Amino acid sequence: MSRVYNFSAGPAVLPEEVLKEAANEMLDYNGTGMSVMEMSHRSKAYEEIIQGAQKDLRELMNIPDHYKVLFLQGGASQQFAMIPMNLMKNKVADYIVTGQWAKKAWQEGSIYGKANKIASSEDKTFSYIPNCEDLPISEEADYVYICENNTIYGTKYKKLPNTKGKILVSDVSSCFLSEPVDVTKYGILFGGVQKNIGPAGVVIVIIREDLIREDCLPGTPTMLKYKIHADNDSLYNTPPAYGIYICGKVFKWLKKMGGLEAMKEHNEKKAKILYDFLDESKLFQGTVVKEDRSLMNVPFITGKEELDGKFVKEAKEKGLENLKGHRSVGGMRASIYNAMPIQGVEKLVEFMKDFEEKNA
């Protein structure tokens, strides 16, 4: 068996320890004589798994009691509709468009009401986060929407926008659990877990209780109401049971690693190795404004498409995989999520130096 360093943006690298544990429990979970995949989601054993996962996540993120944690399906993309369907009582919402995902959310929002684009960084290919201190927030806005870490472009909000008292809704898919956050600053935080937590198929929504309402937009399907999932502790129907089990293992792993403070330190250290090199390199260049750089997704280019292709190909031969940039932007992108070991980043930079010498 040989594992590569996997720089994929998602689905992405998971802690090896977690995968090994899951492998060991594949045929017989904890003396039940069956795999978690084969287990009723109403069984005692599974109840402990899902409740344990929620408890550990609450502890890791310090989630207050008046927030609900929901394990849902449909990907982060389904939240683009679920949020307006559940929150748009005035039928107005403000969106800050900092990349493809925020743009999709804004477009989806406009199906259900007046979705205002109050700021954007599209003028410079989403390479920065706009100044959000004094935005034209609408009087009537039911919420202000952001995508906190832009997976494709590699930017991250270092400071949350001033929403002038309006509810903040944030897509944290690609920075979930990468550093501590103050949950009380948000109305909703949500993310697909396949970026920084677990296997595809699970979406975690952390929502302030007073935003969970009966009166969704007319025609909202039962499955798209936060209330039905909150009232049933994410067991209204069959949840993505195996995925939640793996997420639970990752939460335990994070706790063992020292929690989110320690994770932040670890992530900063990793990102610094790569950014420091990009800043001194004569061949490679980062594509993002320095102060808005993401700790998780690091896009870079050589400036020559042909050379980019050569780099990605030769890196793969060295066991450094999935470094090709998103199809919409080209170049390269190294996603260095929680589970990427520091050695992976060191090895990448070593290879970049070598590549630079040979191709400068």
Ligand X SMILES: *Cc1c(COP(=O)(O)O)cnc(C)c1O
Residues in the site for ligand X, rule: CB under 6 A?
Answer: 10, 75-77, 101, 147, 151, 171, 173-174, 192, 195
Residue least distant from ligand X (Cβ): 75
Q: What is the residue type of 167?
A: I
Q: How many helices (H) and strands (E) does the chain have?
A: 9, 14
In DSSP terms, 250 is beta-bridged to none
195 is catalytic: yes
Which DSSP category does 218 fall into? Answer: T
CA distances, 298 to each of 151, 281, 359 (Å): 9, 15, 21
- From the candidates 171, 249, 253, 324, give the one annotated as an active-site residue: 171
Smallest separation, CB 188 to ligand X (Å): 14
- From the candidates 56, 68, 94, 101, give the one annotated as an active-site residue: 101
Smallest separation, CB 336 to ligand X (Å): 14
Containing 97, the helix (H) or strand (E) segment is strand 92-97
Smallest separation, CB 173 to ligand X (Å): 4
Which DSSP category does 150 fall into? Answer: E
- From the candidates 68, 166, 195, 252, give the one annotated as an active-site residue: 195
Q: What is the residue type of 332?
A: M
Q: Edge to edge, what strands does the sheet with 297-301 contain?
A: 285-286, 297-301, 332-335
> Given the DSSP bridges, would you call strands 114-120 and 332-335 parallel, antiparallel or unpaired?
unpaired
Tell me whether residue 117 or residue 353 sits nearer to ligand X (CB atom).
Answer: 117
Residue ranges of the alpha helices (H) in the chain?
16-24, 44-61, 75-87, 100-112, 226-231, 241-256, 259-280, 305-317, 342-359
Residue 324, class by beta-carbon neighbours within 10 Å (0-12 exposed, 13-18 middle, 19+ buried)? buried
Tell me whether residue 52 or residue 75 sits nearer to ligand X (CB atom).
Answer: 75
Smallest separation, CB 120 to ligand X (Å): 16
Smallest separation, CB 332 to ligand X (Å): 17
Tell me whether residue 10 or residue 15 sits nearer to ligand X (CB atom).
Answer: 10
Tell me whether residue 295 or residue 352 sits nearer to ligand X (CB atom).
Answer: 295
The contacts of residue 165 (CB under 8 Å, 6+ apart) are none
Tell me whether residue 15 or residue 154 sits nearer to ligand X (CB atom).
Answer: 154
Question: Annotated active-site positions, please?
Answer: 101, 171, 195
